[in-house]
Homo-oligomer: A and B are copies of this chain.
Amino acid sequence: MGIEIIGLTGIPEVQRGDDLAELIRRAAAGESRPLDRSVILVVAQKIVSKSEGAVVDLRTVEPSALAREWADQWGKDARLIEVILRESRRIVKMDRGVLIAETRHGFVMANAGVDQSNVPGEEYVTVLPDDPDASARRLQNALGCGAVIIADTFGRPWREGLVNVAVGVSGLTALEDYRGLPDRCGRPLESTVIALADELAAAAGLVMRKAAGAPVALISGLEWKPAEGSARALIRPAGQDLFR
Protein backbone atom coordinates (compact mmCIF):
# COMPACT_ATOMS: atom_id res chain seq x y z
CA MET A 1 0.00 0.00 0.00
CA GLY A 2 2.50 2.59 1.17
CA ILE A 3 6.14 3.32 0.58
CA GLU A 4 8.72 1.97 2.99
CA ILE A 5 12.20 3.41 3.47
CA ILE A 6 14.88 1.51 5.37
CA GLY A 7 18.38 2.70 6.17
CA LEU A 8 21.00 0.01 5.59
CA THR A 9 23.49 0.03 8.39
CA GLY A 10 26.21 -2.56 8.48
CA ILE A 11 28.22 -1.19 5.59
CA PRO A 12 31.85 -0.98 6.68
CA GLU A 13 34.14 1.96 5.95
CA VAL A 14 34.49 1.84 2.16
CA GLN A 15 37.95 1.79 0.58
CA ARG A 16 39.13 2.41 -2.96
CA GLY A 17 38.56 -0.71 -5.04
CA ASP A 18 35.95 -2.21 -2.70
CA ASP A 19 33.12 -4.05 -4.43
CA LEU A 20 30.40 -1.65 -3.30
CA ALA A 21 27.60 -3.74 -4.82
CA GLU A 22 28.74 -6.71 -2.76
CA LEU A 23 28.89 -4.61 0.44
CA ILE A 24 25.35 -3.37 -0.21
CA ARG A 25 24.08 -6.87 -1.02
CA ARG A 26 25.45 -8.16 2.28
CA ALA A 27 23.98 -5.27 4.26
CA ALA A 28 20.56 -5.84 2.66
CA ALA A 29 20.77 -9.56 3.35
CA GLY A 30 21.60 -8.70 6.97
CA GLU A 31 18.22 -6.93 7.14
CA SER A 32 16.55 -9.83 5.28
CA ARG A 33 15.69 -7.51 2.42
CA PRO A 34 15.72 -9.05 -1.05
CA LEU A 35 16.99 -6.69 -3.76
CA ASP A 36 14.58 -7.23 -6.63
CA ARG A 37 13.05 -5.10 -9.38
CA SER A 38 10.60 -3.52 -6.94
CA VAL A 39 13.41 -1.94 -4.92
CA ILE A 40 14.99 1.49 -5.37
CA LEU A 41 18.36 2.00 -3.70
CA VAL A 42 19.57 5.47 -2.79
CA VAL A 43 23.32 5.46 -2.21
CA ALA A 44 25.32 8.27 -0.64
CA GLN A 45 27.75 9.87 -3.08
CA LYS A 46 30.41 9.62 -0.42
CA ILE A 47 30.72 5.84 -0.46
CA VAL A 48 30.49 5.68 -4.26
CA SER A 49 33.34 8.18 -4.50
CA LYS A 50 35.41 6.25 -1.98
CA SER A 51 34.93 2.93 -3.76
CA GLU A 52 35.85 4.51 -7.11
CA GLY A 53 38.89 6.26 -5.70
CA ALA A 54 37.37 9.71 -6.26
CA VAL A 55 39.41 10.82 -3.27
CA VAL A 56 42.19 13.40 -3.28
CA ASP A 57 45.18 13.37 -0.95
CA LEU A 58 45.63 17.04 -0.13
CA ARG A 59 49.37 16.48 0.37
CA THR A 60 49.67 15.97 -3.39
CA VAL A 61 47.93 19.26 -4.26
CA GLU A 62 49.86 22.41 -5.22
CA PRO A 63 47.51 25.38 -4.71
CA SER A 64 47.33 28.11 -7.33
CA ALA A 65 47.76 31.78 -6.42
CA LEU A 66 43.97 32.24 -6.50
CA ALA A 67 43.42 29.33 -4.14
CA ARG A 68 46.11 30.60 -1.75
CA GLU A 69 44.75 34.12 -1.70
CA TRP A 70 41.16 33.04 -1.06
CA ALA A 71 42.25 30.54 1.58
CA ASP A 72 44.35 33.16 3.38
CA GLN A 73 41.50 35.62 3.36
CA TRP A 74 38.95 33.23 4.82
CA GLY A 75 41.06 30.92 6.94
CA LYS A 76 40.68 27.90 4.67
CA ASP A 77 43.05 25.19 3.53
CA ALA A 78 44.49 26.41 0.20
CA ARG A 79 44.86 22.85 -1.04
CA LEU A 80 41.14 22.19 -0.42
CA ILE A 81 40.26 25.37 -2.33
CA GLU A 82 42.50 24.24 -5.16
CA VAL A 83 40.65 20.91 -5.40
CA ILE A 84 37.33 22.79 -5.49
CA LEU A 85 38.56 25.03 -8.32
CA ARG A 86 39.76 21.99 -10.26
CA GLU A 87 36.35 20.32 -9.88
CA SER A 88 34.59 23.45 -11.21
CA ARG A 89 33.84 24.46 -14.74
CA ARG A 90 32.26 27.76 -13.60
CA ILE A 91 32.38 29.69 -10.35
CA VAL A 92 28.83 30.80 -9.59
CA LYS A 93 29.58 32.69 -6.38
CA MET A 94 32.71 33.34 -4.41
CA ASP A 95 31.91 35.57 -1.49
CA ARG A 96 32.35 35.70 2.30
CA GLY A 97 34.25 32.43 2.37
CA VAL A 98 31.57 30.55 0.43
CA LEU A 99 32.30 28.97 -2.92
CA ILE A 100 29.41 27.87 -5.08
CA ALA A 101 30.40 26.29 -8.35
CA GLU A 102 29.10 24.41 -11.34
CA THR A 103 30.80 21.03 -11.52
CA ARG A 104 31.93 19.52 -14.80
CA HIS A 105 28.73 17.44 -14.67
CA GLY A 106 26.65 20.64 -14.56
CA PHE A 107 25.54 20.53 -10.92
CA VAL A 108 25.54 23.86 -9.10
CA MET A 109 26.57 23.24 -5.50
CA ALA A 110 28.69 24.44 -2.61
CA ASN A 111 32.39 23.60 -2.92
CA ALA A 112 31.74 21.81 -6.23
CA GLY A 113 30.89 18.70 -4.23
CA VAL A 114 34.30 18.46 -2.54
CA ASP A 115 33.80 17.22 1.00
CA GLN A 116 35.92 16.44 4.02
CA SER A 117 33.23 14.95 6.27
CA ASN A 118 33.19 11.21 6.89
CA VAL A 119 36.56 10.82 5.19
CA PRO A 120 39.19 9.21 7.41
CA GLY A 121 42.45 11.07 7.75
CA GLU A 122 42.84 14.84 7.94
CA GLU A 123 44.45 14.94 4.53
CA TYR A 124 41.80 13.36 2.32
CA VAL A 125 38.72 14.78 0.61
CA THR A 126 36.17 13.17 -1.68
CA VAL A 127 35.08 14.58 -5.03
CA LEU A 128 31.97 13.61 -7.02
CA PRO A 129 32.19 10.39 -9.03
CA ASP A 130 33.39 10.94 -12.56
CA ASP A 131 30.09 9.80 -14.11
CA PRO A 132 27.46 9.31 -11.38
CA ASP A 133 24.86 7.94 -13.84
CA ALA A 134 27.31 5.24 -14.89
CA SER A 135 28.06 4.52 -11.21
CA ALA A 136 24.34 4.11 -10.59
CA ARG A 137 23.97 1.87 -13.62
CA ARG A 138 26.85 -0.38 -12.57
CA LEU A 139 25.35 -0.81 -9.11
CA GLN A 140 21.90 -1.50 -10.53
CA ASN A 141 23.23 -4.11 -12.94
CA ALA A 142 25.31 -5.80 -10.27
CA LEU A 143 22.48 -5.86 -7.72
CA GLY A 144 19.49 -6.52 -9.99
CA CYS A 145 17.34 -3.95 -8.22
CA GLY A 146 14.79 -1.75 -9.98
CA ALA A 147 16.65 1.56 -9.78
CA VAL A 148 19.65 3.21 -8.14
CA ILE A 149 20.05 6.86 -7.23
CA ILE A 150 23.37 8.38 -6.15
CA ALA A 151 22.56 11.23 -3.77
CA ASP A 152 24.33 14.16 -2.16
CA THR A 153 23.14 17.02 0.07
CA PHE A 154 22.77 20.41 -1.64
CA GLY A 155 22.03 23.90 -0.39
CA ARG A 156 19.47 25.95 -2.29
CA PRO A 157 18.76 29.57 -3.08
CA TRP A 158 15.96 31.19 -1.07
CA ARG A 159 15.54 28.30 1.34
CA GLU A 160 17.63 27.40 4.37
CA GLY A 161 19.07 23.99 5.01
CA LEU A 162 20.43 21.20 2.90
CA VAL A 163 18.35 18.57 1.15
CA ASN A 164 19.44 15.29 -0.36
CA VAL A 165 19.19 15.36 -4.17
CA ALA A 166 20.08 13.00 -7.01
CA VAL A 167 23.44 13.31 -8.80
CA GLY A 168 23.25 9.92 -10.52
CA VAL A 169 20.21 7.95 -11.71
CA SER A 170 19.63 4.56 -13.26
CA GLY A 171 16.36 2.69 -13.77
CA LEU A 172 13.79 5.49 -13.63
CA THR A 173 13.12 8.82 -15.30
CA ALA A 174 14.48 11.57 -13.06
CA LEU A 175 11.62 13.84 -14.15
CA GLU A 176 8.02 12.68 -14.29
CA ASP A 177 5.96 14.64 -16.77
CA TYR A 178 2.30 15.06 -15.91
CA ARG A 179 1.66 17.86 -18.41
CA GLY A 180 -1.56 17.43 -20.30
CA LEU A 181 -2.91 14.81 -17.92
CA PRO A 182 -6.24 15.81 -16.38
CA ASP A 183 -6.39 17.10 -12.81
CA ARG A 184 -9.17 15.99 -10.45
CA CYS A 185 -11.48 18.47 -12.11
CA GLY A 186 -10.70 17.28 -15.63
CA ARG A 187 -8.62 20.37 -16.51
CA PRO A 188 -5.25 19.54 -18.12
CA LEU A 189 -2.26 20.11 -15.82
CA GLU A 190 -0.11 22.93 -17.17
CA SER A 191 3.29 22.84 -15.61
CA THR A 192 3.56 19.70 -13.56
CA VAL A 193 6.91 18.08 -14.16
CA ILE A 194 8.00 16.48 -10.90
CA ALA A 195 11.61 15.83 -9.97
CA LEU A 196 10.95 12.23 -8.94
CA ALA A 197 14.62 11.35 -8.41
CA ASP A 198 15.11 14.35 -6.13
CA GLU A 199 12.02 13.50 -4.09
CA LEU A 200 13.31 9.93 -3.72
CA ALA A 201 16.73 11.24 -2.66
CA ALA A 202 15.12 13.58 -0.12
CA ALA A 203 12.96 10.77 1.24
CA ALA A 204 16.06 8.62 1.63
CA GLY A 205 17.72 11.51 3.45
CA LEU A 206 15.29 10.91 6.31
CA VAL A 207 17.00 7.60 7.14
CA MET A 208 20.50 8.21 5.81
CA ARG A 209 21.74 10.92 8.12
CA LYS A 210 20.32 10.07 11.52
CA ALA A 211 22.63 7.16 11.90
CA ALA A 212 25.69 8.39 10.06
CA GLY A 213 26.21 4.66 9.57
CA ALA A 214 23.39 4.33 7.02
CA PRO A 215 24.85 5.45 3.70
CA VAL A 216 22.28 3.46 1.72
CA ALA A 217 18.49 3.61 1.80
CA LEU A 218 16.23 0.92 0.42
CA ILE A 219 12.86 2.17 -0.86
CA SER A 220 10.05 -0.23 -1.65
CA GLY A 221 6.36 0.11 -2.48
CA LEU A 222 6.67 2.78 -5.17
CA GLU A 223 5.31 2.02 -8.61
CA TRP A 224 7.17 3.56 -11.51
CA LYS A 225 7.81 3.04 -15.18
CA PRO A 226 11.28 1.51 -15.67
CA ALA A 227 13.56 3.61 -17.86
CA GLU A 228 17.26 4.04 -18.40
CA GLY A 229 17.24 7.40 -16.64
CA SER A 230 19.89 10.04 -16.01
CA ALA A 231 20.47 12.79 -13.47
CA ARG A 232 21.41 15.04 -16.39
CA ALA A 233 17.67 15.54 -16.93
CA LEU A 234 17.63 17.41 -13.61
CA ILE A 235 20.10 20.05 -14.78
CA ARG A 236 18.21 23.11 -15.96
CA PRO A 237 19.81 24.67 -19.05
CA ALA A 238 21.03 28.14 -18.05
CA GLY A 239 19.19 29.80 -20.93
CA GLN A 240 15.85 28.45 -19.76
CA ASP A 241 16.39 29.07 -16.06
CA LEU A 242 14.15 31.96 -15.10
CA PHE A 243 14.68 31.11 -11.45
CA ARG A 244 18.32 32.24 -11.61
Query: In chain B, what residue has the closest Cβ to A165?
Result: B159
Q: What CA separation (Å) do A116 and B189 show in the bound complex?
A: 9
Within 8 A of B (CB), among A178-200: 178, 183-185, 187, 189-196, 198-200
A190's nearest neighbour on chain B, judged by CB, is: B117
Taking CB atoms and an 8 Å cut-off, the chain A residues in 197-244 that contact chain B are 198-200, 202-203, 205-207, 209-210, 212-213, 222-223, 233-236, 241-244
Query: Does chain B have a CB within 8 A of A100?
Result: yes
Query: Does more than half of chain A's interface fall in helix, strand or loop, or is it mixed?
Result: loop
A6: B residues at CB distance < 8 A? 1-3
Q: Which of A51-59, A63-71, A90-98 contacts B (4 or more CB under 8 A)?
A: A90-98
1/0 per position for A35-68, CB-CB distance to B under 8 A?
0000000000000000000000000000000000
**Contact mask for chain A residues 73-112; partner B; CB cutoff 8 A; 1 contact, 0 none:** 0000000000000000000010110101000000110100
B-contacting 9-mer, from A16-24, A131-139, A150-158 = A150-158
How far is B202's CA from A196's CA once the two chains are assembled, in angstroms?
9
Binding site for B on A (CB under 8 A): 1-7, 13, 31, 93, 95-96, 98, 100, 107-108, 110, 116-122, 153, 155-165, 174-176, 178, 183-185, 187, 189-196, 198-200, 202-203, 205-207, 209-210, 212-213, 222-223, 233-236, 241-244
